[in-house]
Chains A and B, each alone.
Chain A
Amino acid sequence: MANNRIMMKGTEAMGEAAIRAGCRLYFGYPITPQSELPEYMSRRLPEMKGTFLQAESEVAAVNMIYGAACTGTRVMTSTSSPGFSLMMEGVSYMAGAKLPAVFINVVRGGPGLGDIQPAQSDYFQATKGGGHGDYHLITLAPSTIQEAVDHIALSFDLTDKYRVPALIIADGMLGQMMEPVTLPEYRDMNSLPNHDNWALLGKNGRDKHMVTSFDIDPVKLEEMNNDYQNIYRQITENEVQVEEYMMEDADYAFVAYGTMARIIKTTINMAREEGIKVGLIRPITLWPFPYAAIKKAADKCKFLMSVEMSAGQMVEDVRLGVNGKCPTPFYGRTGGIVPTPTEVLSALKKEMGV
């Protein structure tokens, strides 16, 4: 497959991967650092007889996705932090209406207008709701462009399987960097999951279908919530993904995801040269979170150190997994600053007291 390997920018690679996964509908609104993705889709989707539509706002975009998802058709958008905040209402409605769709948040520094540099400060928003009500998004966190490409098809398959919206959480680094990637083959459009048993297609002889996130009767709304929670339990049992790097003999463990995890692998190699046995637990699914891998590491490591491009968000899940069994120091930078391997090594040594 070497001839399939090409240099691509992260945003464009994810767009191409979505097309190959059978997505023919994209609604979005320009925002840095991901505007190349809607630009790419505006070129490519017409070639594939698909539809690209630039919405008047992220608020409109998410509701266009809501509408398209009601028909059971694969649909996606991409945005960056402030834009994803604007989409939260619609995302909550989609979670409630059990609508499959893929979102990409190329996270930038916040809060507010923030900046346009890479950040991981939307972890809470991605994994703890973000919008109103009891819901989760299936949240994938790639750490390379190749993995981002692979996560596109995976996220479409998961969102179609469970009817829970999926989110790929990238950052400005993954969005803007170029890397060689191997693109998947085009998915046969006739092989895509069939949603005809619930989707809005027009009655055409059958009983009417209704898709809503709504029931005025609290007893029935609780039943709907129980249904969501059952699905979330299934996802938690079946879909956790985590990478363990040099954890076999580790005395210390980093916990990091996305771009930060990638940088930390360099830190680990540097530390190992100095004889420090440190490994990495890299959550690939941020929700469901790999608590079991954290718990296992907590039983044998002296501490688990969460390193994030945030003021400390995932560290709360690390602490839930560790459950007091060992210390859980944190190191992070904010504002769009990406920590260097050396800097993280220094932070590690400081915690070790060396």
Chain B
Amino acid sequence: MAEKIIMQRPNALTDKEFTYCPGCLHGVAHRLVAEVLDELEMTDNTIMVAPVGCSVFAYEFFNVDGTVAPHGRATAVATGIKRALPDRTVFTYQGDGDLAAIGTAETIHSANRGEKFTTIFINNAIYGMTGGQMAPTTLEGMKTTTSPYGRDVADVGYPVHVCEMLQNLKGVAYLERVALYSPQHIRKAKAALKKAFTAQKMGLGYSLVEIVSTCPINWGLAPTEAIEWGKEHMLKEFPLGLFIDKVGDAK
């Protein structure tokens, strides 16, 4: 009897084991991106830019050509790659500290120029790799190692909303906030990633998918508790939704 493969590791992932913590959702996000690259037949012509942060090793996990940018500079590096090789698929994979704190200027200006690459933005409201410090997206009152009394918005300001900040920039072709807290969320996230890469392929402009995630270790919660906490608190601060879809508009 011939075996029929109904599920396998995407070609766009290497065999290397993820180095992420137990319960971390980077693995889910990686797989979704990889499935989309395979399905859109982009894996062979893709160049990725990993950030500095927990996903600094992402260039080893994706089976595509890749590099690591200095902290926050992924979209500038991607700009250089895409300008040199306009016919390749280029994406950055960045956390909230990388994209929305140290890299804010690069994020905004890449989006505003309508750079034709895709950004996967993982928002878990904390600096994971450095050990749980306050992020630009940390929720009001949330305790981190550098906001031990809870984020005091009167003192350090409010959580940054990246999609809301970018939605008025005309260079943006696709912008959606998704989550990974349920199977339904995951299916929607994949659909959004596919649209984002399609926007790139069509040359419509900059595309960004914000993925609201968790950090069980630094949130001090078990993985399932982290998901429940995320549903209750993260989605309240960062409501899911589609902000810009020029792919849909183009059809």
Contacts and interface: CB of A to CB of B under 8 A. Distances in A.
Given A60-B105, A60-B109, A67-B81, A202 B70 contact: no
Contact of B65 (A57, A75, A203): A203
Given A200-B65, A203-B44, A68 B106 contact: no
Given A51-B83, A89-B70, A202 B88 contact: yes
Nearest to B108: A56
Contact of A202 (B44, B67, B68, B69): B44
A209 B109 contact: no
Contact of A210 (B56, B66, B73, B82): B66
A259 interface: no
Interface string B10-51: 000010000000000000000000000000000111110100
B63 interface: yes
B79 interface: yes
Nearest to A66: B77
Interface residues of A, number: 38
Q: Is the contact region of chain A dominated by helix, strand, or loop, or is it mixed?
A: mixed
Contact of A90 (B67, B73, B109): B73
A130 to B, nearest CB: 15
Contacts of A64: 76-77, 79-80, 83
Contacts of A97: 67
Nearest to B45: A202
A208 interface: yes
A200 B79 contact: no
A275 interface: no
Interface residues of B, number: 34
Contacts of B49: 67
A211 B68 CA distance: 7
A75 B77 CA distance: 13
B242 interface: no
B64 A212 contact: no
Contacts of B68: 212-214
B73 A208 contact: no
B67 A212 contact: yes
A63 interface: yes
Interface string A6-31: 00000000000000000001010000
A66 B88 contact: no
A201 interface: yes
A174 to B, nearest CB: 27
A53 B49 CA distance: 20
A56 B105 contact: yes
A46 to B, nearest CB: 13
Contact of B70 (A27, A57, A63, A201): A63
A63 B44 contact: no
Contacts of B43: 203
A310 B78 CA distance: 38
A210 B76 contact: no
Contacts of B47: 70-71, 200-202
Contacts of A90: 70, 73
Interface string A194-216: 00000011111100111111100
A90 B44 CA distance: 28
A27 B105 CA distance: 16
Given A60-B76, A64-B76, A203-B43, 13 more contacts: A27-B80, A51-B83, A67-B80, A67-B82, A68-B80, A68-B83, A68-B84, A70-B81, A202-B44, A202-B45, A202-B85, A204-B44, A209-B66
By Cβ-Cβ distance, the 9 closest A-B pairs, closest first, are A67-B80, A63-B76, A202-B45, A68-B80, A64-B80, A67-B77, A63-B73, A56-B109, A200-B65
